[in-house]
Amino acid sequence: MSRIGKSPITIPEGVNVDYKDGVVTVKGKLGELTQKVDNIAVSIEDDIISFERSSEKSDQKAKHGLYRALINNMIKGVTEGYSKELELVGVGYRATNQGQKLDLAVGYSHNIVIDLAPEVKVETVSEKGKNPVVKLTSYDKQLVGQVAAKIRSFRAPEPYKGKGIKFVGEQLRRKAGKSA
């Protein structure tokens, strides 16, 4: 049995979880998320969610832990939220935002302007002597990760000087270069 799938989830106070017609809906103070659940039985009793599978097939074993993790991430998202921070490393690299528009200057002949989804809140921090930082926050873990990966893809960090857009705290594998 899946070790992740068999552990129950306790619903915190202020979160409402509904299961109807194969769709789990989670409502909290930060927002509302839905997830379709296939071939896994979901039971909600006394603020505890448990997941059961009907057979020992490999696809059901995989989905057992998957849906438990997705629902747990949804509950954590509507109570606490998720955030990602990206750091722009390079001479002349800048980031500014006006509402939901993020404007990046990362070494191209033009600035990159991105319209972000309304669920994602963006904040840019530029201090003198430090690299600019872009902070993304939302209640949807998948959406925050997808938006952060999209922004990082505009100028991924290169291995020789380390220039590019990287996650804060990310360790880059550096190469020695020609002289070594």
Q: How far from the centroid of its chain's Cα atoms is residue 125's Cα?
A: 20
For domain 82-167, give the fold: Outer Surface Protein A; domain 3 (3.90.930)
CATH 3.90.930.12 domain residues, the chain: 3-79, 82-167
pLDDT tens for the chain, 180 residues long, are 458 888 999 999 999 999 999 999 999 999 999 999 988 999 999 999 999 998 888 888 889 999 999 999 999 999 999 999 999 999 999 999 999 999 999 999 999 999 999 999 999 999 999 999 999 999 999 999 999 999 999 999 999 999 999 999 999 999 998 875
pLDDT of residue 106: 94
| Residues ≥6 apart with Cβ < 8 Å to 169 | none
CB count within 10 Å of CB 56 equals 8
Check if the beta carbon of residue 104 is closer than 8 Å to that of residue 56: no
pLDDT of residue 3: 82
pLDDT of residue 67: 94
Architecture category of domain 3-79 in CATH: Alpha-Beta Complex (3.90)
Model pLDDT for residues 89-127, shown as the tens digit of each residue: 999 999 999 999 999 999 999 999 999 999 999 999 999
Look at residue 73 and give its three-state secondary structure. Answer: helix
Structure tokens at 89: 């490393």
Question: How far is Cα 95 from Cα 111, in angstroms, rounded to an integer?
Answer: 10
Helices (H), the chain: 3-6, 58-79, 141-153
- Tokens 């959406």 locate to 143
pLDDT of residue 1: 46
Instruction: Say if residue 6 is exposed, middle or buried (CB neighbours under 10 Å; 0-12, 13-18, 19+).
Output: middle
Nearest to 136 by CA among 149, 116, 120, 152: 120
pLDDT of residue 49: 95
